[in-house]
Structure 1
Amino acid sequence: SDEDVDDSSEFVKFFPSFIWAVRDFTLERKIDGKDATENDYLEFALKLKHGSLNIYNLPRECIQKFFPSRTCFTFPFPTAPENVSHLERLDLADLSTEFLEVTGRFCTFVFDQSDVKKLKDGYTVTGRVLGHLAKMYMDTISSGAVPCLENAVIAMAMIENQAAVKEGFEVYQSGMEKLKNSFPLELKVVSSEHQRLSSMATQTFMTRSFRDTDGKHLKSLEVGWISFNELFDGYLCQNEQAEAVLEEFLKQKSVDSKAILQADKKLTEKEKKIKGTTKEETQRQLQEKMEAERQSNEERMIQMKEKMDEEMRLQREEAQRAMDSKLREQAALLEKGFQEKADRMSQEMEEFKRQNAEAESNRVREFAELLENSSKRNEESMAMMMQQHREQMKALQQQMRARSAGGCCIL
């Protein structure tokens, strides 16, 4: 319908290239008595006619609007007429050289120059995504409803983003589970591995996920990072428990051979040294943990910025592709004398520019909010670490006072 044609600026962003393959072509490729290329022949066939019925102009107008990239291949008869009935049994030598030449150009064009399938906003349709779309279309058709690309993409985005979160968790958790087999380890080693796996998990998530317009993708991303930090705290706790078990074992071995009971209730110089060493170790652990979190946050911010730049690039490429198509279409209309339609297209292009500018502004705002939320979460995480450190130091002081009041110490 005319209304559908008016929506061409949206469709042209992600519609594939148009290839017109004409079989058994026997006509002369001439326009006004002059030889014409295959593409010239296609454009001539798509010309609109003044005063023609809508049934003639509308399909041609739709092809022009929805498919800015158009290519034509005219295939002659593949072989002699007497061989047509058993083409599948013919050898290559039985096929005409002209047919093989066009076939070669056709295959080269499809394999080397055809763009990959894309969805709105420039996201590539992988085999997995195509499978989701095909299933959704078939389910919709089977139910008696009419398939809608927009609804299918929204549903698929939810599936892909949920799978991306799960895949990111698995990358992080499987790596930390392998590391856990080596506990106890130095905090620096655990923190370094957390940083590496967190970066890998976030990259895995961002690679598979793609934007949805209502912001669910951003919320999923935030939940993912919070979960990584919670998992990290859990693994740190397990590492400390393993270290405590090992320390207790070594202490018991030491008691069997070196334990000396002291009657003096005052702290000895050695006890003071132990106390100072414990404080220094706790402080060092805090610094290493905070440094690991700082570096993880920096890498996360870089990944987010790269994701934003890539999405904005795809969005701009789509918009430019649509605008170029409209400019070519407008020039063709003016050349053919359709002044009224050309003027209407000028208004459409202005509205198209306005919508693109608004969409880009909204996207920039979404990412700015995401970066701000990430910074806030990092600040909260740092504050929580400091609070935990203060509580640990307080507990340590109480423990040392209790040992002093007990009147004895094991060296």
Structure 2
Amino acid sequence: MSLAVFMETPICLVENIDGELKLNPHALQILTSITKPVVVVAITGQHCTGKSYLMKRLAGSNPFFSLGSTVQSETKGIWMWCVPHCSKLDHVLVLLDTEGLGDVEKADSKNDSWIFALAVLLSSTLVYNSMNTINQQALEQMQYVTELTKLIKVKSSPNAAREEESEEFVGFFPDFVWTVRDFTQELKADGCPITSDQYLENALKLSHDMSPRSLPLLLPSNSQGDREITDKNGRVEMANLSRECIRKFFPKRNCFIFHRPTEDKSLLACLQHVPDRQLEPSFRNQIDRFCYYILSNAKPKTLSGVIMINGRRLGKLLETYVRAISSGDVPCLENAVLSLAQTENPAAVQKAAKHYMKQMALKVDLPTETFWDLLSVHTECEKEALSIFMKHSFKDENLKYQNELVQILETKKESFIHQNEELSTEYCQTQLEYLLQSLREAISKGTFSVPGGYNRFKKKREEIINNYYQMPRKGLKADEALQMFLQSLAVTEDYILQIDQALTEQEKALEVEQIKREAAEKEKKLLKQQQVEMQQKMEAQQRSFEENMNQFKRKIVEDRYKILEEQKMILDSKLKEQKKLMEEGFQMKAAEMNITIEDLQAKIKDIENQNSSWMPMLLDTAGTIMMVMLPGEGKIAGLRLKALATSLSK
């Protein structure tokens, strides 16, 4: 299905009906039909700030989100627009426009918090849109970011410490972009020009404007002055909390400012219809820079830096999140990943097995001339299948699904071997039966029941054998079928030999001895062929075992590298945050971060030294694969490896 066909216009993905979030089945079907990785850009912010216009510009198409010209919020719930990514050819750009925050017509502000939380959970880049400037009021309006740890949890364990858990959010949260519309100030600090990114960082500096006499907001005050100080300090605390949360949850953040698009108020009321030439040049340049940055830098959506998300997976995650919210529960990222793995890993097994069968059908022309011809193609197709499984699987606890794939491929390989032998046997028997017709006709006519008939019979038999050897595509059962054919002629041959009066008793004995010798040689040759095939099969199984282990170890190393890079990124952001706190004069807050930083450093060291931690899993997997693939002593060795893995894991 073409994206251009089913996404000509945006569609509501999450409906907000009377404060209850519901999924639109049609939109969900569109999303889950996308098998390519997705770059998800969500835009959120206060209502009537022009969020939908930014999304329209990012889409770069004629259709547009509903853009209100009145103070009433137009976008309800979360709207989706999927378009081909302009620079990442194998990716799809998923744009999410969220309902405006802080709408006075809403009865329940908690609804805003859930909309914001879903935007964070679904996106790889989150755009927060505001008006005029990043000031105290704008930061106070960002209270939604301070509620994230209440609305989302990383670990499923009820005993998980919230402070420790919050450090894990960075691996799941998107990059952050703050856009400021109708910006009229100069980008300067201390009289020097600054960038918009520096402007954001200056705005996120913690404020010291707090009186020692400040009281908790919920306690009564004795005077109007006390109440004013308390209210002021409460706002400062809230703004500081928003600053801290943005700095902690979104280590990668940028800022873009936009001047007014036009001074003509009549044009502002219908901005979606205004051609670019009627907009202010500075605004056009700023919009172009913003779009270029987002389309060039927005990353594909991943979970914990390792799990690549496509449309199908994003839809499954969305279902899990909305189901949790609707039931009054808090979405758990760990449970969502495990739930996704339970549907994706079986699909990865089937995808890999299907690829194996398709490639075997294309590359193997049954019956094969030799056993090795079949095994060599099997080895190649098995390697491709394992690679596909590794690419599409994740969180394969105890290698359950990889072992399942190994068993499936082994069963299918044996099926191909059996089919190969059957086709070869059937073809050879058919051809021998055809060649035997002329011999039977000669026997029925009495051609060999005369003096010297036995020699004539032998000559005819050799002629049949020679013709049989010249036939192509007999397969690996050619010799076995011929042996059975010769055995079927033994009684007839003895009869012709007995009635051939021209032969002496001595000649008869010599002929009988020669027949026995030839039969023994053919039996010996057949036995040797079977031994060679068995050896080739064992060698192929050994290669399959080694390929399974190599790909498993390679995936462990790759995943460990990604996790290590993510942890280093988190550590780097914490060190920078600690340095900022010290520069801003918050020595105590900076000191409190030492425990978190030390924990991250220890975790990184553990990951770097994890060469032995996954050894029990590796041994257990090796044992399972050996028990599936290897015969006799190989199965016993597999049992021993699994026992060793159990002892090491204790």
> TM-score, normalising length from structure 2?
0.55
CA contact (8 A) 2:627 2:634 kept: no
Moved more, 261-270 or 292-301: 261-270
Shift of 1:370: 2.6
Once residues 385 and 4 of structure 1 are traced to their aligned partners in structure 2, the CA distance between those partners, rounded to angstroms, is 51
Task: Indicate the RMSD between aligned Cα atoms, in angstroms.
Answer: 2.7
Once residues 629 and 548 of structure 2 are traced to their aligned partners in structure 1, the CA distance between those partners, rounded to angstroms, is 14
Tell me which of 133, 140, 144 is aligned to 2:317.
133
Shift of 1:290: 2.0
Greater share of helix: 1
Once residues 341 and 70 of structure 1 are traced to their aligned partners in structure 2, the CA distance between those partners, rounded to angstroms, is 22
Shift of 1:194: 1.1
Residue matched to 1:167: 351
Tell me which of 564, 574, 577 is aligned to 1:316.
564
Once residues 76 and 298 of structure 1 are traced to their aligned partners in structure 2, the CA distance between those partners, rounded to angstroms, is 62
Shift of 1:92: 1.1
Once residues 367 and 16 of structure 1 are traced to their aligned partners in structure 2, the CA distance between those partners, rounded to angstroms, is 33
Within the alignment, does 1:23 sit opposite 2:181 as a pair? yes
Deviations 1:313-349 (A, max 9, x none): 1011110000000000000011011111111111211
Within the alignment, does 1:151 sit opposite 2:335 as a pair? yes
Shift of 1:232: 1.0
Tell me which of 212, 215, 236 is aligned to 2:417.
236
Residue matched to 2:38: none
Q: How does 1:41-52 map to 2 (within 5 A)?
A: 41-50=199-208, 51=210, 52=233
Moved more, 323-332 or 231-240: 231-240
Q: Select the structure with the greater relative contact order (CA < 8 A; seq sep ≥ 6).
A: 1
Within the alignment, does 1:307 sit opposite 2:307 as a pair? no
Once residues 322 and 584 of structure 2 are traced to their aligned partners in structure 1, the CA distance between those partners, rounded to angstroms, is 42
Within the alignment, does 1:34 sit opposite 2:215 as a pair? no
CA contact (8 A) 1:117 1:124 kept: yes
Once residues 595 and 324 of structure 2 are traced to their aligned partners in structure 1, the CA distance between those partners, rounded to angstroms, is 36
Residue matched to 1:68: 251
Once residues 164 and 546 of structure 2 are traced to their aligned partners in structure 1, the CA distance between those partners, rounded to angstroms, is 45
Q: 5+ unaligned residues in a row in structure 1: which ranges?
A: 388-411
CA contact (8 A) 1:185 1:239 kept: no
Moved more, 6-15 or 198-207: 6-15
Deviations 1:39-90 (A, max 9, x none): 1211111111223543121111000011111111010001123321121221
What is the percentage of aligned positions where both structures have the same residue?
Answer: 32
Within the alignment, does 1:369 sit opposite 2:601 as a pair? no
SS at match of 1:383: coil
Tell me which of 241, 248, 266 is aligned to 1:58.
241
CA contact (8 A) 1:74 1:102 kept: yes
1:43 and 1:5, CA in 2 relative to 1: closer, same or farther beyond 3 A?
A: farther
CA contact (8 A) 1:14 1:318 kept: no
Residue matched to 2:428: 247
1:92 and 1:364, CA in 2 relative to 1: closer, same or farther beyond 3 A?
A: farther
Deviations 1:86-143 (A, max 9, x none): 2122111111111111112111211112332221143222222212212222333333
Residue matched to 2:67: none
SS at match of 1:78: coil
Shift of 1:185: 4.5
Deviations 1:372-404 (A, max 9, x none): 5326633773434999xxxxxxxxxxxxxxxxx
Once residues 8 and 81 of structure 1 are traced to their aligned partners in structure 2, the CA distance between those partners, rounded to angstroms, is 47
1:7 and 1:32, CA in 2 relative to 1: closer, same or farther beyond 3 A?
A: farther
Q: 5+ unaligned residues in a row in structure 2: which ranges?
A: 1-145, 150-160, 211-232, 440-460, 462-488, 496-508, 636-650
Once residues 598 and 414 of structure 2 are traced to their aligned partners in structure 1, the CA distance between those partners, rounded to angstroms, is 53
Shift of 1:368: 5.5
Shift of 1:253: 3.5
> TM-score, normalising length from structure 1?
0.84
CA contact (8 A) 2:578 2:593 kept: yes
Shift of 1:18: 1.0
Deviations 1:5-62 (A, max 9, x none): 6644211233221100001111232323433221121111111122354312111100
1:180 and 1:122, CA in 2 relative to 1: closer, same or farther beyond 3 A?
A: closer
SS at match of 2:255: strand
Amino acid corresponding to residue 558 of structure 2 in structure 1: E
SS at match of 1:365: coil
Amino acid corresponding to residue 92 of structure 1 in structure 2: D
Once residues 244 and 356 of structure 2 are traced to their aligned partners in structure 1, the CA distance between those partners, rounded to angstroms, is 52
Once residues 180 and 115 of structure 1 are traced to their aligned partners in structure 2, the CA distance between those partners, rounded to angstroms, is 41
Once residues 386 and 375 of structure 1 are traced to their aligned partners in structure 2, the CA distance between those partners, rounded to angstroms, is 9
Once residues 25 and 343 of structure 1 are traced to their aligned partners in structure 2, the CA distance between those partners, rounded to angstroms, is 37
Deviations 1:161-188 (A, max 9, x none): 1110111111122333456773355212
